[in-house]
């Protein structure tokens, strides 16, 4: 603590789950019902500067100061309660997001990962990544995976204290691997993922089957990544995402993040596959699609989705 700096900085990428986290076994510690696997998207994410403040927290997002009562600022201040000291009673947090905030593009994941890295820098903890992942998890579950480039595995863990629930890198570079972002709507989603998970786990019989399937899918996807078996990875990821959304649709009141254009895009993906273009999709708590394909299909996929933003996580 003696080595607190004048400022801490951190930056982290967004990540897309290939096998999803959906449902909490502990909502305070953000302990998941199941493990998950993700791919980070370099060049999209959050950059955060953190400074000690005197009278109150101040939170800046994309050059705008947020009202302390704004949900984003309140959630951040609650997370920062874990880290206040006599020397640093309050924080000034300045974050730039290069993704639309709260549009199902995981800005909370990169945001909390960047914040934890900035805390590590400010207080000079020099903690290992797995420990930082554990802390990021408490801000937003999926943030646990955003500490790493490339593929990451978040272990659900079994302990009540969550000390075994953190993400690790799955070091398996795959240069041909591409992710395409189909932006259907970037407006803030009406139901956040925490509320969505609560609604699904409380009122959906189908959800009972989810945690076991998610663990199986996770294992298949990890094997497929190691074997660079794209067909197996893509099919499992798409099926996993649709199964997660099925639990939401089958809850009451129903929860449907899709828009009409989302369904049109899904059908386009299926048509492309019938035509021999190997492309799969995944979707999170929002209407946007993320396409998975290999570099050889980049031209065909981009032609079918004009304006597609293509990210190649392993080619720098």
Residues in contact with ligand PMV by the rule CB under 6 A: 17, 20-22, 36, 108-109, 140-142, 193-194, 284-285
In angstroms, give the least distance from the CB of 118 to ligand PMV.
Answer: 19
In angstroms, give the least distance from the CB of 277 to ligand PMV.
Answer: 26
In angstroms, give the least distance from the CB of 34 to ligand PMV.
Answer: 9
Backbone angles phi, psi at 244, to 5 degrees: -60, -45
- Closest CB to ligand PMV among residues 191, 310: 191
In angstroms, give the least distance from the CB of 296 to ligand PMV.
Answer: 27
- Closest CB to ligand PMV among residues 45, 141: 141
**Cα(203)–Cα(190) distance, integer angstroms:** 19
**Cα(183)–Cα(201) distance, integer angstroms:** 28
- Closest CB to ligand PMV among residues 36, 199: 36
- Closest CB to ligand PMV among residues 20, 272: 20
- Closest CB to ligand PMV among residues 21, 305: 21
In angstroms, give the least distance from the CB of 1 to ligand PMV.
Answer: 29
In angstroms, give the least distance from the CB of 299 to ligand PMV.
Answer: 29
Give per-residue burial for 99-120: e unless 16+ CB within 10 Å, then b. bbbbbbbbbbbbbbbbbbbbbb
- Closest CB to ligand PMV among residues 140, 199: 140
**Cα(300)–Cα(116) distance, integer angstroms:** 39
- Closest CB to ligand PMV among residues 34, 297: 34
In angstroms, give the least distance from the CB of 32 to ligand PMV.
Answer: 8
């Amino acid at each position: 603590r003696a080595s607190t700096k004048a400022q801490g900085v951190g930056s982290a990428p967004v990540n897309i789950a290939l096998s999803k986290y959906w449902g909490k076994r502990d909502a305070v510690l953000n302990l998941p019902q199941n493990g998950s696997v993700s791919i980070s998207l370099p060049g999209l994410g959050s950059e955060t500067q953190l400074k000690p403040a005197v009278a109150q927290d101040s939170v800046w997002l994309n050059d705008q100061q947020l009202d302390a009562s704004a949900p984003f600022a309140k959630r951040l201040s609650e997370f920062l309660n874990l880290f206040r000291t006599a020397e640093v009673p309050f924080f000034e947090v300045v974050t730039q997001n290069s993704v639309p905030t709260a549009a199902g593009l995981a800005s909370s994941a990169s945001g909390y990962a960047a914040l934890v890295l900035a805390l590590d820098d400010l207080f000079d903890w020099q903690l290992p990544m797995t420990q930082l992942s554990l802390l990021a998890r408490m801000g937003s579950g999926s943030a646990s995976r955003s500490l790493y480039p490339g593929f990451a595995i978040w272990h659900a863990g079994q302990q009540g204290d969550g000390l075994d629930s953190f993400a690790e890198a799955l070091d398996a570079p795959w240069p041909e691997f591409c992710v395409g972002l189909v932006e259907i709507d970037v407006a803030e989603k009406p139901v956040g993922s925490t509320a969505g998970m609560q609604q699904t786990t409380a009122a959906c019989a189908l959800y009972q089957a989810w945690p076991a399937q998610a663990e199986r899918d996770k294992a298949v996807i990890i094997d497929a990544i190691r074997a660079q078996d794209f067909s197996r990875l893509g099919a499992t990821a798409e099926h996993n995402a649709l199964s997660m959304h099925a639990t939401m649709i089958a809850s009451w009141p129903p929860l449907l993040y899709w828009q009409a254009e989302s369904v049109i895009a899904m059908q386009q993906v299926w048509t492309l596959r019938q035509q021999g273009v190997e492309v799969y999709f995944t979707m999170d708590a929002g209407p946007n699609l993320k396409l998975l394909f290999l570099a050889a299909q980049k031209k065909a996929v981009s032609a079918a989705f004009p304006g597609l933003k293509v990210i190649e996580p392993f080619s720098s």
